[in-house]
């Protein structure tokens, strides 16, 4: 028998996903999720992003938006993606960021 939850949205449209549902869905802190509505049914699914796909996925998200995405949302997306990368790739990105910062001076 399925367990049914009833949750209340807060004033910012957020809802807490119960632990046992997150466990079954293999959702963890900093995971990126995709939300869509199909026949009035809200679907949430975890998105697996490989490091090489990060820029393409971000561009895809930005291109689909009718309104601008906030800097906070972009930062969350990037940090979640970085958390999945190995140390070698992180070091490469740190080097690129360092070059970008030095070029802005």
Give the residue from 36, 41, 5 showing the smallest Cα distance to 20: 5
Q: Which helix (H) or strand (E) holds 47?
A: strand 41-47
Q: Each residue of 40-65: pLDDT tens digit?
A: 888 888 877 665 566 666 667 667 76
Work out the average pLDDT over 88-92: 85
Which residues make beta-bridge pairs with 10?
none
Q: Which helix (H) or strand (E) holds 61?
A: helix 54-64
pTM, two decimals, is 0.47
Give the residue from 30, 35, 27 showing the smallest Cα distance to 82: 30
Q: Return the domain boundaries, the chain.
A: 1-48, 51-105
Cα separation, 77 vs 96, in Å, equals: 18
| CATH classification code of 1-48 | 2.10.260.10
Work out the average pLDDT over 57-74: 67
């Amino acid at each position: 028998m399925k367990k049914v939850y009833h949750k209340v949205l807060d004033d910012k449209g957020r809802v807490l996903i119960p632990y046992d549902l997150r466990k079954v869905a293999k959702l963890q802190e900093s995971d990126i999720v995709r939300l869509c509505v199909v026949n009035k049914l809200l679907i949430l699914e975890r998105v697996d992003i490989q490091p090489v796909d990060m820029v393409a996925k971000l561009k895809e998200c930005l291109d689909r938006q009718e309104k601008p995405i906030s800097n906070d949302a972009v930062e969350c997306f990037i940090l979640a993606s970085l958390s999945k990368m190995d140390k070698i790739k992180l070091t490469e990105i740190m080097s690129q960021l360092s070059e970008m910062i030095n070029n802005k001076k």
